[in-house]
């Protein structure tokens, strides 16, 4: 027996500007924080950067043709602030024209454009004025959002303000693993609040300008479990991770307040002084859509294990934990299979997360729920027959689509799923070493090759159901 997806369920794939576009110095684009960060020795594996990436800037018509071949109903991409408004100056006609042409190409292929305004690439000129730690950046983000809408609002219906503000704030400003590479608990907290504020300002302004748009935000969320539910230290560890990763963003957005326990945890870092009257009302704008990015869950304790890392540092620099108030919290392996990122494969965590988010946040708010990213890196090889037989990725995809169906069976109205990523690309501090695509990219020739997983996804999309083989795997 196969398992069908509900009518109207959207199937897509996702990318982000800096990870695929290349053309970093073309048509007026200037540096983002990722251009600057990747030049610092030791920050990125093999000192790789996004100067060329997948050369999507020049190959977007071919890439859209591939999307059409796969049968994608929607494509989630991001616009580069540094291309649209170099150094946050006036709008750059050539920069915005690229996105205009991309959108036209998508529309003529029958693919719904899903636009994200910010996927981690702040103009470096703004970082030099304090970046997201500077409250003014929130207002500048609103102005940039309106600039993009001025040019594309007539053709793009779905607008996501931010991708994973947790990563922007805490991996960028506290752990130092991502751009801009700062290692400060207070900077991460300030960045987190100002990103939320920027979201709220942009959301209100976009909505006033265009009441018909579908407006949302995307968060990376986890399922944090205590190693031993009977040990108070473990339970508190799980509470902290949930608070500092999930609820730090979910609660202000949907409930108009920061969680009390989180405020207690970070009080000694001066967090409350940052939050001004009216900020939370500004942040908690009504949302039409909400995106969950899910990769894995976490099992935590206040007792260390052999591998006591909360996050991975690709280049083995001295970096910090991304959690500002979780010193003494340790991640424990669950013994599940891992991807090439060493992330455990835990599809049931996606079901559990969707059920929780649906029940506690999006459901009561009447906000549509989507999985805007989910995917896996594997050490793909091109076989002698010229194909990539990535059975591990196909299984990953099927298991997670199965988890989405499980959540739907439990009554959560999940409206769509985006695989991360359409194609292999620049995996941030890991450079080109990690491949997440359902399409392989040969970085010497820029040739694209649909992997077996891409064919499997295309078949699922065409049938609008999971095949029987997937169900057998799911039953295991
Ligand atoms: C997404 O972020 C990004 O949006 C995308 O740009 C990126 O390419 C993609 O994922 C793949 O990385 O503590 O070691 O278990 C991913 C967000 C947050 C997911 C941290 C993994 C736990 C890592 N990540 N999380 S670990």
Please report the DSSP string for 377-397 in residue order: -------TTS----HHHHHHH
Mean pLDDT of 399-419: 98
Where are any strands of DSSP class E within 380-463?
Answer: 414-420, 439-441, 448-450
Mutate to test the pocket of ligand 1, among 18, 293, 312 (most ligand atoms within 8 A of CB): 293
Q: Is 19 annotated as a binding residue?
A: yes
DSSP 118: E
298: β partners: 224
DSSP 88: G
**Domain 10-475: which topology?**
TIM Barrel (3.20.20)
Q: Which residue has the higher pLDDT, 317 or 6?
A: 6
* Average per-residue pLDDT for the chain: 96
User: What's the pLDDT tens digit per position in 186-213?
Assistant: 999 999 999 999 999 999 999 999 999 9
User: What's the pLDDT tens digit per position in 59-88?
Assistant: 999 999 999 999 999 999 999 999 999 999
Contacts for 170 with CB less than 8 Å, ≥ 6 apart: 188, 191, 192, 244, 322, 323, 324
Q: Is 428 annotated as a binding residue?
A: yes
Q: Is 119 annotated as a binding residue?
A: yes
CB 220 near ligand 1, within 6 Å: yes
**Would you list the domain boundaries of the chain?**
10-475
| pLDDT reported for residue 265 | 98
Closest-lying ligand 1 atom to the alpha carbon of residue 430: 12
Mean pLDDT of 93-116: 99
pLDDT at 36 over 80: yes
Mutate to test the pocket of ligand 1, among 373, 400, 437 (most ligand atoms within 8 A of CB): 373
Rounded Cα distance between 475 and 157, Å, is 38
Q: Would you place residue 238 in the very low, low, confident or very high pLDDT band (cuts 50, 70, 90)?
A: very high
Mutate to test the pocket of ligand 1, among 118, 167, 346 (most ligand atoms within 8 A of CB): 167
pLDDT at 308 over 50: no
Smallest CA separation from ligand 1 atom 17, residue: 220
Mean pLDDT of 136-144: 99
Nearest to 253 by CA among 162, 157, 137: 162
DSSP 233: H
Smallest CA separation from ligand 1 atom 26, residue: 311
Using the CB atoms, write b or e for 398-411: b if 16+ within 10 Å.
bbbbbbbbbbbeee
* End-to-end alpha carbon distance in the chain: 15
CB 169 near ligand 1, within 6 Å: no
Q: Distance from the CA of 110 to the center of ligand 1, in angstroms?
A: 30
pLDDT at 350 over 70: yes
Q: Is 34 annotated as a binding residue?
A: no
Mean pLDDT of 219-241: 98
pLDDT at 475 over 90: no
Rounded Cα distance between 315 and 300, Å, is 24
CB 372 within 8 A of CB 218: yes
Q: Distance from the CA of 295 to the center of ligand 1, in angstroms?
A: 7
Nearest to 300 by CA among 220, 377, 259, 244: 244
Q: Distance from the CA of 375 to the center of ligand 1, in angstroms?
A: 10
CB 5 near ligand 1, within 6 Å: no
Where are any strands of DSSP class E within 264-324?
Answer: 289-293, 298-301
Using the CB atoms, write b or e for 188-200: b if 16+ within 10 Å.
bbbbbbbbbbbbb
pLDDT at 307 over 70: no
Mean pLDDT of 426-441: 98
pLDDT at 267 over 50: yes
Closest-lying ligand 1 atom to the alpha carbon of residue 377: 11
Beta carbons within 10 angstroms of residue 297's beta carbon: 22
Mean pLDDT of 16-40: 98
Count of H-run helices and E-run strands, the chain: 19, 15
Residue 246 buriedness (CB in 10 A; 0-12 / 13-18 / 19+): buried
Which one from 21, 105, 127, 164 is the annotated catalytic residue? 164
Closest-lying ligand 1 atom to the alpha carbon of residue 425: 8
- Number of residues assigned to the chain: 476
| pLDDT reported for residue 338 | 97
CB 168 near ligand 1, within 6 Å: no
Q: Which residue has the higher pLDDT, 418 or 472?
A: 418
Q: Would you place residue 280 in the very low, low, confident or very high pLDDT band (cuts 50, 70, 90)?
A: very high
Q: Is 420 annotated as a binding residue?
A: yes
Determine whether 360 is an active site residue: no
| pLDDT reported for residue 476 | 57
Determine whether 164 is an active site residue: yes
Q: What's the CA dihedral at 114, 218, 9, 104 to 10 degrees?
A: 0
Q: Distance from the CA of 347 to the center of ligand 1, in angstroms?
A: 15
ipTM for the predicted complex comes to 0.94
Q: Would you place residue 312 in the very low, low, confident or very high pLDDT band (cuts 50, 70, 90)?
A: low
Query: From residue 417, how far is each of 187, 335, 369 by CA, in Å?
Result: 33, 27, 10
Rounded Cα distance between 410 and 419, Å, is 22
Rounded Cα distance between 390 and 394, Å, is 7
Q: Distance from the CA of 120 to the center of ligand 1, in angstroms?
A: 12
Mean pLDDT of 283-300: 98
Mean pLDDT of 324-339: 95
């Amino acid at each position: 027996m196969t398992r069908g997806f509900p009518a109207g369920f959207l199937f897509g794939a996702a990318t982000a500007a800096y990870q695929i576009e290349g053309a970093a110095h073309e048509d007026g684009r200037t540096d983002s924080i990722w251009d600057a960060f990747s030049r610092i020795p030791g920050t990125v594996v093999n000192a790789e950067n996004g100067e060329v990436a997948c050369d999507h800037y020049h190959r977007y018509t071919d890439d859209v043709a591939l999307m059409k071949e796969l049968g994608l109903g929607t494509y989630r991409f991001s616009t580069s602030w540094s291309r649209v408004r170099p150094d946050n100056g006036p709008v750059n006609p050539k920069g915005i024209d690229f996105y205009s042409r991309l959108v036209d190409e998508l529309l003529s292929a029958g693919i719904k454009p899903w636009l994200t305004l910010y996927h981690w690439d702040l103009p470096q000129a703004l970082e030099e004025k304090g970046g997201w730690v500077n409250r003014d950046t929130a207002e500048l983000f609103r102005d940039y959002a309106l600039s993009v809408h001025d040019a594309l609002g007539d053709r793009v219906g779905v607008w996501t303000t931010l991708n994973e503000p947790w990563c922007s704030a805490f991996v960028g400003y506290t752990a130092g693993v991502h751009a801009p590479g700062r290692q400060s608990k207070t900077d991460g907290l300030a960045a987190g609040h100002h990103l939320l504020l920027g979201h709220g300002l942009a959301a209100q302004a976009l909505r006033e300008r265009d009441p018909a748009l579908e407006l949302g935000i995307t968060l990376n969320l986890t399922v944090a479990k205590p190693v031993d539910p009977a040990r108070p230290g473990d339970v508190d560890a799980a509470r902290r991770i949930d608070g500092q990763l999930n609820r730090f963003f979910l609660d202000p957005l949907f409930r108009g307040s920061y969680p009390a326990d989180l405020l207690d945890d970070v009080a000694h870092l001066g967090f409350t002084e940052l939050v001004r009257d009216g900020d939370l009302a500004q942040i908690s704008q009504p949302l039409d859509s909400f995106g969950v990015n899910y990769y894995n869950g976490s099992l935590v304790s206040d007792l260390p294990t052999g591998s006591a890392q909360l996050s991975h540092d690709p280049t083995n620099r001295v970096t910090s934990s991304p959690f500002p108030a979780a010193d003494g919290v340790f991640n424990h392996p669950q013994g599940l299979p891992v991807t090439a990122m060493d992330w455990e494969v835990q599809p049931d965590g996606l079901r559990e997360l969707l059920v929780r988010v649906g029940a506690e946040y999006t459901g009561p708010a009447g906000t549509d729920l989507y999985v805007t990213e989910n995917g896996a890196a594997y050490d793909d090889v091109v076989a002698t027959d010229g194909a990539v037989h990535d059975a591990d990725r196909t299984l990953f995809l099927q298991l997670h689509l199965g988890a989405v169906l499980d959540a739907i069976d439990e009554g959560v109205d999940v409206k769509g799923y985006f695989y991360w990523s359409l194609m292999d690309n620049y995996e941030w501090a890991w450079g080109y070493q990690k491949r997440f695509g359902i399409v392989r990219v040969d970085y010497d020739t820029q040739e694209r090759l649909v992997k077996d997983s891409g064919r499997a996804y295309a078949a699922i999309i065409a049938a609008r159901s999971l095949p029987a083989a997937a169900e057998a795997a799911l039953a295991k």
